Amino acid sequence: MLYQNNIPNGNSVPDPCNSGGTWAAVGHYDPKVGSALTNKFAKDFAAAGHTWTRELCMKDSDEDTYTNGQELGDPNCNWTPGNQPERAAFGHPGIYNLQLKSIKKFSSSESCVRKLDILISNK
């Protein structure tokens, strides 16, 4: 099932592995397709009934000091499906943004995803 329309800027979440790219499968560690390996945002989103709620918006799923709402462009948690978010998304709610400097040294998205797998297994 495609959940991109259930979160603000779901079709334009920045890809931390590919500057200027987007991460289509926001709840997964594979940027292009949903996979069995889901991130913490996916687990929180499922717990919210796959619905954008104030609680999910205020949560910091990836524990990087930014709320899910801030990262997805809904800092005031007012977004509803079908409406324009307050801002553009600047981060990924399921990938700890403070790790991005170590990820950026990889030249390809595939290498970055492998690096994410290493970071995940060590968390």
pTM of the model: 0.82
Q: What pLDDT score does 17 carry?
A: 76
Mean pLDDT over residues 5-17, rounded?
92
pLDDT, tens digit, 9 for 90 and up, residues 51-65: 999 999 999 999 889
The answer to whether residue 68 scores a pLDDT higher than 60 is: yes
CB 44 within 8 A of CB 27: no
Phi, psi (rounded to 5 degrees) for 17:
-95, -15
Q: What tokens does 27 get?
A: 């709840």
pLDDT at 29 over 70: yes
Pair of tokens at residue 117: 């797998």
Mean pLDDT of the residues in the chain: 83
Residues with Cβ < 8 Å from 55, sequence gap 6 or more?
Answer: 48
> Of the given ranges (1-5, 49-53, 69-73, 90-94), which has the lowest mean pLDDT?
1-5
Q: What is the pLDDT of residues 76-105, one digit of tens each?
A: 999 999 999 999 999 999 987 655 555 444
Determine contact, residues 109/31, Cβ cutoff 8 Å: yes
Phi, psi of 75 (to 5 degrees): -65, -25
Give yes or no for residue 119 having a pLDDT over 60: no
Please report which confidence band the pLDDT of residue 107 belongs to, taking 50, 70 and 90 as the band edges: very low
